[in-house]
Amino acid sequence: MAAPYLSRLSTVPRSTWSPAPSLSALALSKPLSIDRSRGRTSSWRAAACAAMLASAHACSRATAQRASRAVRSGSSSAGLTTCAAGDVPTFHVGLVGYGLVGQELVKQMIKEGPKLEEKIGVRLEIAAVSRSQVMALLPSNSFSFLADGWDESKEEPADLEKLGQHVVKAASSSGGRALIVDNTASDSPVELYEAWILAGADVATPNKRAGSGPFPRYEKIMAASQKTGARFLYEATVGAGLPVVGPLQALVRAGDEIETVEGIFSGTLSFIFNSWKPGVKFSEVVKEAKEKGFTEPDPRDDLGGTDVQRKVTILARELGLQIELDDVPVKSLVPEKLQDWEAPGGQKLADAFIQELEAYDEEMEKLLDEAEKANEVLRFVGAVDVKSKSASVKLGRYPKDHPFASTQFADNICAVSSKWYTPRPLVVQGPGAGAAVTAAGVFSNIMEVMNGMR
């Protein structure tokens, strides 16, 4: 029999649940010139414009306040000094990453933009879009550039600093506001967040790298946002389109005291444990998940739990824990012997890995049988415990009437226990992956800022 690789399972007794960059120097070495010159030399003009904005209702009060604040601090932020009375405030959006989520977000923006302009009086404009190698910096009113497909004639080599400058300059020229959306899974854009925010641009992202990367970088991004009032928004990093981060922030702001946050944060692992029933081999379920397109090209990326570890780190920081990714222990579902295993030449990695996994089916079946006998289910859960300042990611056992046992298909679920949400937790459940819902999560952040602009 295979050696046991899942030595301990956490079990949840009924009684316990039911009640309950430092890059700035580099980025700013190419100053965002329009903002800078205005901030330094024309502060009286900027102050006058800010006052005009407030009285003319051309831009929002928040916008005028940001302009005033930028002027007071003499900082380069906001870029809001040329808003003309009577203009519709414009939200200039720079998109970094044009893959599944990026393209879906563009579709949603193109479809909903005109309606939003009518409803809330703020124009949405795509000012720039970048892929890994190429980008396009767009003039005003360029929705059609993307509506008609990617126009290669407008392409130039990708340069994210230049992209940031272009978007901030567009906002500065129109008196609107700038936002950069990072729809990549890369660290490169994250290295620029602080500089973008210091230049007055909001940043929205489903990319987990900032929230789960080095804590000092995260702290600098947060400090930049505090300093300039430009927002750092990342609802879609946990639970994709599900409202998890926002409600948590709102509860904390309103004075609630969060005790624990736990949940199923991987759509792939949710599907696997929702589908796995006695009599079915674990490797067969992983195979089905792969065939349905739920797994990464290397299924170890899902079974290893790193994605959940990132999400748990983001939530832990949200709750005030100063932790690094490595402070969150993960009980990987990848057998130790297969962690550094490589597929034999000529074989497809995923298929060969699933075949190797068959040797562990018996051991996994035992876990499932034990859970069944206790009228419990197995779920791969990430948790943050505020009191003990700890977080973890592991396979646990939950009673069949626990909210985590009711997940279906590839649902995510998040349960928040707090001073107010007790003895029953606040539960958010639904699809937690897929380009459409993830883009919708990013779009909800965009609309949040737009609402503040009117």
Ligand X SMILES: NC(=O)c1ccc[n+]([C@@H]2O[C@H](COP(=O)([O-])OP(=O)(O)OC[C@H]3O[C@@H](n4cnc5c(N)ncnc54)[C@H](OP(=O)(O)O)[C@@H]3O)[C@@H](O)[C@H]2O)c1
Q: Which residues are catalytic?
A: 311
Q: Which one among 210, 435, 449, 453 touches ligand X, defined by CB under 6 A?
A: 435
Tell me how far, at minimum, the Cβ of 95 lies from ligand X, in Å. 9
Three-state DSSP class for 155? coil
263 forms bridges with which residues in the sheet?
382, 414
CB 285 within 8 A of CB 272: yes
Q: Is 183 in the site for ligand X (CB under 6 A)?
A: yes
d(CA 205, CA 95): 10
Q: Is 454 in the site for ligand X (CB under 6 A)?
A: no
Residue span binding ligand X (CB under 6 A) among the ranges 111-119, 244-252, 271-279, 427-435: 427-435
Which residue's CB is nearer to ligand X, number 55 or number 133? 133
Pairing verdict, β 90-96 and 123-130: parallel
How far does Cα 82 stand from its chain's mean position?
A: 32
Q: Is 133 in the site for ligand X (CB under 6 A)?
A: yes
Which residue's CB is nearer to ligand X, number 29 or number 133? 133
Q: Which one among 58, 70, 93, 96 touches ligand X, defined by CB under 6 A?
A: 96
Which residue's CB is nearer to ligand X, number 79 or number 189? 189
Residue span binding ligand X (CB under 6 A) among the ranges 64-72, 90-98, 396-404, 405-413: 90-98
Stated length of the chain: 454
Omega of the bond leading into 299 within 30 degrees of 0 (cis):
no
Tell me how far, at minimum, the Cβ of 192 lies from ligand X, in Å. 10
How far does Cα 287 stand from its chain's mean position?
A: 28
Query: How many binding residues for ligand X (CB under 6 A)?
Result: 26
Q: Is 416 in the site for ligand X (CB under 6 A)?
A: no
Q: Which one among 24, 43, 173, 186 touches ligand X, defined by CB under 6 A?
A: 186
Tell me how far, at minimum, the Cβ of 245 lies from ligand X, in Å. 13
Instruction: Give the Cβ contact number of residue 161 at 10 Å.
Output: 17
Tell me how far, at minimum, the Cβ of 38 lies from ligand X, in Å. 29
Q: Which one among 6, 20, 158, 252 touches ligand X, defined by CB under 6 A?
A: 158
Tell me how far, at minimum, the Cβ of 150 lies from ligand X, in Å. 10
- Which tokens hold the place of 155? 């392409």
- At 188, the amino acid letter reads S
Q: Is 412 in the site for ligand X (CB under 6 A)?
A: no
Q: Is 185 in the site for ligand X (CB under 6 A)?
A: yes
Residues 6 or more apart in contact with residue 3 via CB below 8 angstroms: 337
Residue span binding ligand X (CB under 6 A) among the ranges 18-26, 74-82, 94-102, 327-335: 94-102
Residues 6 or more apart in contact with residue 370 via CB below 8 angstroms: 397
Q: Is 107 in the site for ligand X (CB under 6 A)?
A: no
Q: Is 65 in the site for ligand X (CB under 6 A)?
A: no
In 3-state terms the chain splits into helix, strand, coil percentages (rounded to 5) of 50, 15, 35
**Which single residue brings its beta carbon nearest to ligand X?**
99
Tell me how far, at minimum, the Cβ of 206 lies from ligand X, in Å. 4
- Which tokens hold the place of 129? 């879009």
d(CA 62, CA 89): 12
Q: Which one among 10, 37, 188, 355 touches ligand X, defined by CB under 6 A?
A: 188
- How far, CA to CA in Å, does 184 sit from each of 37, 187, 376? 32, 8, 38
Instruction: Give the Cβ contact number of residue 140 at 10 Å.
Output: 12
Tell me how far, at minimum, the Cβ of 209 lies from ligand X, in Å. 7
d(CA 283, CA 357): 6
**Residues found near ligand X in the complex (CB under 6 A):** 96-102, 130-133, 158, 183-186, 188-189, 206-207, 236, 240, 433-435, 438
